Amino acid sequence: MAFLNMEQHTWAFTFGILGNIISLMVFLSPLPTFYRVYRKKSTEGFQSTPYLVTLFSCLLWMYYAFLKSGSELLLTINAVGCVIESLYIAMYLVYAPKSARLLTAKLFIGLDVGLFGLIALVTMLASHGPLRVQVVGWICVAVALGVFAAPLSIIRLVIRTKSVEFMPFSLSFFLVLSAVIWFAYGALKKDIFVAMPNVLGFLFGVAQMALYMAYRNKKPATVVLVHEEMKLPEHVKEVAGGAKPQGGAPTEGRISCGAEVHPIDVLPDVADVEQAAAAADEDVIRDDQNMLRPEQPAVIKPDVAIVVQA
């Protein structure tokens, strides 16, 4: 019996070490994002909410590990997670615009300081011994389920856009692997609060991987702006002596909204030019200095049609 207990403890320790390694890789996965933030000195619209929620979760699990004996491996990885997430949030506060900094600071004070402090204070005063461990454990389970359910919005986005751009396969794979390892650790330690939320994490991770395999070769839906080409009014120059214009280069053309000039390859006849010149003479006005100025044509704004390509 003692040998079985020792073997079970050895397997639990092994899965705990593997869980620490995999979870560390998950914590470090946003490093390329923050390297780009540092290089460009801008957050580029990235949100700080995932890092604030992850920090809150790590604080709760670290508090639970303090209360539950034999949870040293759970304590170590969540302490490291608190440090990493705090660094992410600090860098975000440095490079984010003012409005985003204010929102992040409010969420940090309200969630990671206020709510966590309230939970710790209430559980310390209102419960004792095993009851306190159970209360904190169920709170950790509720928060973990919320964190694992967060990718539902990403799943909806993938289905709607038919694009896996926002759902990297590597992240989904490591989340599934982490869920399996921590479930095994919780089962071997007979800790229901560790094992239970990782079942849901495993299911959501598998669903993400299945969606990735289904939509990885699909053409994503994109929005394309189509500018309607319009023909601007033509200006006819006077031809002295009724002769054709010198040179083969035309002076007028069809201009699109993209400022592309398409030359006319065939020169007009002399009669057509004279008729157009006569018509132009009727549209001009004489100013005080006896100079001729053509009337300004009305400015027509091109229409813009939005076409969604499936």
| Cα 151 from Cα 179, distance rounded (Å) | 14
CB 16 within 8 A of CB 73: yes
For the chain (310 residues), the mean pLDDT of every run of 10, in chain order, is: 62 91 89 88 84 93 92 93 95 92 94 94 89 94 83 76 74 85 92 91 86 77 44 44 46 43 45 55 48 45 40
| Residue-level pLDDT at 298 | 44
Written in H, E and C, the secondary structure of the chain is: CHHHHHHHHHHHHHHHHHHHHHHHHHHHCCHHHHHHHHHHCCCCCCCCHHHHHHHHHHHHHHHHHHHCCCCHHHHHHHHHHHHHHHHHHHHHHHHCCHHHHHHHHHHHHHHHHHHHHHHHHHHHHHCCHHHHHHHHHHHHHHHHHHHHHCCHHHHHHHHHHCCCCCCCHHHHHHHHHHHHHHHHHHHHCCCHHHHHHHHHHHHHHHHHHHHHHHHCCCCCCEEEEEECCCCCCCCCCCCHHHCCCCCCCCCCEEECCCCCEEECCCCCCHHHHHHHHHHHHHCEEECCCCCEEECCCCCCCCCEEEEEEC
| Cα 209 from Cα 211, distance rounded (Å) | 5
| Residue-level pLDDT at 201 | 85
Residue with tokens 């699990």: 61
| Residue-level pLDDT at 86 | 95
| Residue-level pLDDT at 37 | 87
- pTM of whole model > 0.75? no
| Residue-level pLDDT at 286 | 47
Q: Which phi and psi (to 5°) does residue 127 adopt?
A: -140, 160
| Residue-level pLDDT at 155 | 78
| Residue-level pLDDT at 109 | 95
Q: Which two tokens stand for residue 194?
A: 């560790």
Residue type, 118: L
| Residue-level pLDDT at 279 | 57
| Residue-level pLDDT at 1 | 52
